């Protein structure tokens, strides 16, 4: 199983909205970056990812799961980009702020540090475990 990080501006799509979507989940659309598209195409059913509030909050708040693999994004008029479907799995006990990630030397190579503008990012198994440790686990 691979791990990912999904960034969303909470005023557009928040963790609370993702949770409210329930087990049926929702599509993760609107990605318009070719590197992020490649990440979406690599996702498999059951892969998990961190849900990150960008701009406001700037923190990892929960865990989502891929429930439908990549398919064409109908909001893309050129038909180039794809989307996946995600469902909320659980909230983190304590959100992990961007500031905390930046001060953790073991996360210095995390994509969140190197490709801060990328909306969908890979997370290594080691990074996944470190962030969960920093969060005190899940609820």
Asked if the model's pLDDT at residue 71 lies above 80, the reply is yes
Instruction: Report the CATH number at residue 33.
Output: 3.10.590.10
Confidence band, pLDDT 50/70/90 cuts, at residue 115: confident
Residues in Cβ contact with 81 at an 8 Å cutoff, skipping those fewer than 6 apart? 31, 32, 37, 72, 73
Give the pLDDT score at 122. 97
Question: Are 5 and 128 contacting, i.e. CB atoms less than 8 angstroms apart?
Answer: no
**Structural domain total, the chain:** 1
Q: How many residues does the chain have?
A: 139
What confidence tens digit (pLDDT) does each residue in 47-70 have? 999 999 998 899 999 999 999 999
User: Average pLDDT, stretch 62-90?
Assistant: 97
Four-residue CA torsion sign, 109, 113, 119, 123? positive
Give the pLDDT score at 43. 98
User: Average pLDDT, stretch 68-85?
Assistant: 96
Q: What is the mean pLDDT of the chain?
A: 96
- At residue 58, φ and ψ (nearest 5 deg) are 45, 65
Give CA 74 to chain center in angstroms.
21
Give the pLDDT score at 116. 80
User: Average pLDDT, stretch 73-79?
Assistant: 94
Confidence band, pLDDT 50/70/90 cuts, at residue 117: confident
What confidence tens digit (pLDDT) does each residue in 21-55 have? 999 999 999 999 999 999 999 999 999 999 999 98
Asked if the model's pLDDT at residue 139 lies above 80, the reply is no
The domain in which residue 129 lies consists of 3-135
């Amino acid at each position: 199983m691979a791990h990912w990080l999904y960034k969303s501006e909470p005023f557009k799509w928040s963790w609370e909205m993702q949770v409210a979507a329930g087990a049926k989940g929702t599509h993760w659309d609107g990605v318009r970056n070719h590197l992020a598209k490649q990440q979406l195409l690599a996702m498999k059913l059951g892969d998990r990812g961190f849900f990150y509030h960008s701009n406001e909050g700037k923190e990892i708040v929960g865990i989502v799961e891929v429930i439908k693999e990549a398919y064409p994004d109908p909001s893309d008029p050129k038909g180039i980009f794809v989307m996946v479907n995600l469902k909320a799995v659980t909230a983190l006990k304590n959100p992990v702020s961007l500031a905390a990630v930046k001060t953790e030397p073991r996360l210095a190579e995390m994509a969140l540090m190197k490709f801060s503008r990328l909306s969908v990012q890979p997370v290594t198994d080691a990074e996944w475990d470190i962030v969960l440790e920093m969060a005190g686990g899940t609820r």
